[in-house]
Each structure stands twice: as structure tokens, then as C-alpha cells.
Amino acid sequence: MLTPEFLTKLDQLRIQCQKPFRGRFRGDRRSLNRGTGVEFADYRLYQHGDDLRYLDWNIYARLEKLFIKLFQADEELPVSILIDTSQSMQFGEPTKLHYAKQLAAAFSYISLANSDRVSLYTLSERLTSVFPATYGKSQYARIQKALATIAADGTTNITECLKHLATHQPHAGVVIVLSDFLDSAGYTVGINSLLGRGFALTLVHIQCQEEIEPPPTGEWRLEDAETGETKEITINEETITHYQNRQKEFCENLQSYCTKQGVGYIRGRTDFDFESVIMQDMQRAGFIQRRY
């Protein structure tokens, strides 16, 4: 799915996240948990059994009370990657789903290489766990195999899938949604449910050339990729202009909503060079940064 040469380039990158989360294992990310890091975080009253090395004797000299110094724990970043597998993602050449799987592979590798914890899900009519939370660069081969089994099927229900994740995920973390966001029911309620739980979201809006540039004028029968509904229409210059305006409005509304909510938004086209999107566009967007 990704060449060895490209994986070497990904070793230089990390997912950028300023917001701290609670992790499970040691890592190099600032955590909400208190631990034995080097960065001071807070004080609390001494309790029986606490390590005496962390007592603040200066405070004791002034107040005659025992306080323990707390330090910021360094732990891994929990990253959940959601791949839209509805039938509309099977559109295009290469397909939007193939492009999403490539992106998921790249994000997984970057996360694992930085000692972060990765979970994979598919998103269609319901949210399905494809690969449970895993840790360590050695797990990348298993994630690749899991991604290879993913196929497009069913309709889209973004809201219910995101609400399910917000309800059942025990701790907040980073969520990356790879989708075309073509859901007649919308996406705002689902996104708001994750934001309300404190998750950090990035939406990767995937489009293909075939939907950006509509077919030539003439008589056409259109079929909905997800519902199978058909409609016969006449495409002329006026129809093409109307379609392009509606599509531009859809993209601008999604991006504007993300900006207002503090959600990351990146648009990707399947006909653009995949590696340059990762190495250039996503770094410019601030989603990915170089480690050194």
C-alpha cells in the first residue's frame, strides 16, 4: 500500500496535537495524567505511601504542611482513524476508498513510529472496529493487512457512527475522519457529540476528478451509488454550472463549519499525487509536522 521509500520519509513526521489526552503507556506526548515527567504540573497534600522524594520542603517550612509535587506525565497519543466505506467511496479512478486506505496507512505508520496508539474503524451504516487499539511500530504490518480487507458497502450514516464513538470510547483522543461526507442527513450532530466529549477532530474531505468535473452535455441516466435510485436528466451548460456552484457551496460550508468549531479540515483529490499531499499539503495545514 505504501512503498518502503515513502515509509522512510514518514519516519520524519508526527501528528501535531497541542491538546493533552490521557494515555495508557509511556510516550513522548504531554498527558492529562500526573506522573514522573520533568515538567512541573501541580501540588497536592501528602498521602500515606507517597514517594518522599517529591515532598516540597520549602512549603513545609512556611506552612508546616506536607505537599507532594506533581509532574506532567509523558504518554502516548490515542489516535482513532475512521474510514468511510459507503458505496459512494467506490467512485472514481483511483477510487476514493483506495485513497482513504492509503491515507489511513500513512497516518497509522506515523502514529506507531511515534509510540502513539492507533485504532481503525469503518464508517457506513454503523461504526465497525477493524483493528483494536495497538501500540508499537511492529504492528504496522498487521494494520496493512486489516486495511486490505476493507471494501465499500452500504449507505452513509455519519451522525450515528460519530455519536457511537463518542458514547463508547472510554477516553477522548484524536479522531481522523476520511470521507466524502456525502450524507443527506448531514454531519454536524455527530461532530458536535465528539467535540462535547473533548475529542480533537480532523476531517479529510476526499473527492475524485469524476465528481468535480461532471460528464459532458447530453442525455444521461444517473444512479445513486448507495440507494440505487435512478433519474434521467438532460445535461447542458446551465446544468453543469448549477452543479459546480452547488458542489462549491457544499465544500465551503463544510470547511466553514470546521473552522468555526475548531476542527481540522483538509481536502484531498484522488487525482493529485498522494505523497505530496502528505509531505506538503498536510504539513502546511498544520496537521503533520517534522520531528527534526
Q: Given pLDDT bands bounded at 50, 70 and 90, which one contains residue 75?
A: low
**More confident call, 53 vs 239:** 239
pLDDT of residue 229: 87
Q: Nine-digit cell at 226?
A: 448507495
Concatenated DSSP letters for 235-273?
E-HHHHHHHHHHHHHHHHHHHHHHHHHT-EEEEEETTS-
Interval 25-54: pLDDT, tens: 444 544 444 444 545 556 667 777 777 776
Beta strands in the chain (DSSP E): 13-15, 26-45, 67-75, 78-84, 117-123, 127-135, 174-179, 200-207, 218-223, 230-235, 264-269, 288-290
pLDDT tens for 254-285 read 999 999 999 999 999 999 888 888 988 888 88
Q: Which fold has domain 4-15+76-290?
A: Rossmann fold (3.40.50)
Q: At what angle do helices 140-148 and 96-113 cross, to 10 degrees?
A: 170
* Distance of alpha carbon 186 from alpha carbon 189, whole angstroms: 8
**β-bridge pairing 218-223 and 230-235:** antiparallel
The CA distance from 161 to 193, in Å, is 11
Percent of the residues in the chain that have a pLDDT greater than 90, as a whole number? 47
Determine the Cα–Cα distance for residues 262 and 113; give it in Å rounded to an integer: 27
User: Quick one: pLDDT band at residue 21, thresholds 50, 70, 90?
Assistant: low
Least confident of 13-17, 97-101, 117-121, 192-196: 13-17
CB 175 within 8 A of CB 201: yes
Tell which phi-psi region holds residue 154, choosing left (phi > 0), alpha (psi between -120 and 50) or beta. Answer: left
Q: Measure the CA–CA gap between 214 and 212, rounded to whole angstroms.
A: 6
Partners of residue 221 on adjacent β-strands: 232
Q: Is the pTM of this model over 0.85?
A: no
**Cβ distance 10 to 106 under 8 Å?**
yes
Report the pLDDT value the prediction gives residue 34, as an integer from 0 to 100: 46
Give dist(CA 80, CA 242) in Å, integer: 37
The mean per-residue pLDDT over the stretch 211-235 comes to 84
Residue 226's pLDDT band, with cuts at 50, 70 and 90, is confident
Q: Where are the domains of the chain?
A: 4-15+76-290, 26-75
C-alpha cell at 20: 493533552
In angstroms, rounded to a whole number, what is the distance separating the alpha carbons of residues 51 and 251?
55
